[in-house]
Amino acid sequence: MKSSKQSAQGADRGADRHAEVAYDQIAPVYDDFTAHHRYPEWIDSLLKLGATHGLRGNTVLDVGCGTGKGFMPLLDLGWKVTGLDISPSMVELARAKAGPEVRIEVADMREMELYGSFDLVLCLDDAINYLHSVEELERALRGMAANLAPDGLLIFDSNTLTTYRTFFGERVVVEARGRRMIWSGRTGGHAEPGQISEAAFEVEPLVPGTGPVVPPEVHRQRHHPEAEIRAAVAAAGLEVLGLYGCATDGVPRQPVDEDAHTKAIYVARGVGST
């Protein structure tokens, strides 16, 4: 029989892997569930945003690359891509899309190695919101900073309160390929700065008995207030060059409005870089 201490340690390890577990479950249907996302336009807008802050070069590290939907437009534009994701299932799908010439690794952004010196480091699609503490956020940003070229840019996004008061408070159903994908938000439309919000995701066949049933798995995300992110960026040896908000159209605008925009987009570089 396990001691109470051993049981608690096991529970902590399970909590520590919550993002990995959640994305291993959603991986087979992720592209179908997010089919409405316009990644080529989104990436184009971010590259233009980076260009206004001096982005140059053609090497990119995509942290939290998922199934590769975000980096495929970059490959089409001639960028040399390296991808990282915490979910082995997501990485497997990304490798199948990208082919053997693209390096894609299973990695936890809180424990990042040195993968190179990149002109651009991206961390998109609310990946940092799966970090539940300031310490985790700082560790991740330090790892990203370590992989930047001397004049490289880091671009990352973070969900606003609007996302947790809408998407994380709603029931969303998407049907595709004989499957029904169900997102069940649990916030009830209420969220406060710094709060951890939950939603459950599950899959069932459209016709009972014709396919597997995937039981609900919980996605837990934390809202990171602007002041907290700015402090973590500084602690990682970076400086914020620009802060933008965007709604579902994916167009960056200033200033950020937590009550209107769904995401905040940060552009940063190493302190003292030119």
* 173-208 per-position pLDDT tens digit: 999 999 999 999 999 999 999 999 999 999 999 999
Cα(235)–Cα(271) distance, integer angstroms? 11
pLDDT at 235 > cutoff 80: yes
Number of C-alpha atoms within 13 angstroms, CB side, residue 212? 7
Residue, of 14 and 236, whose pLDDT is higher? 236
pTM, rounded to two decimals: 0.93
57: left (phi over 0), alpha (psi -120 to 50) or beta: left
pLDDT at 13 > cutoff 70: no
135: which 2 tokens? 């310490």
Over residues 231-237, the mean pLDDT reads: 98
SS3 187: coil
Over residues 215-235, the mean pLDDT reads: 98
For residue 66, give Cα distances in angstroms to 19, 170, 241: 12, 23, 26
Q: According to the model, what pLDDT value does residue 137 have?
A: 98
Residue type, 120: L
User: Cα 172 from chain centroid?
Assistant: 19
Over residues 229-258, the mean pLDDT reads: 96
What is the pLDDT confidence band of residue 4, given thresholds at 50, 70 and 90? very low
Cα(70)–Cα(92) distance, integer angstroms? 15
- Domains of the chain by start residue, with CATH: 16-159+224-270 (3.40.50.150), 163-222 (2.20.130)
SS3 57: coil
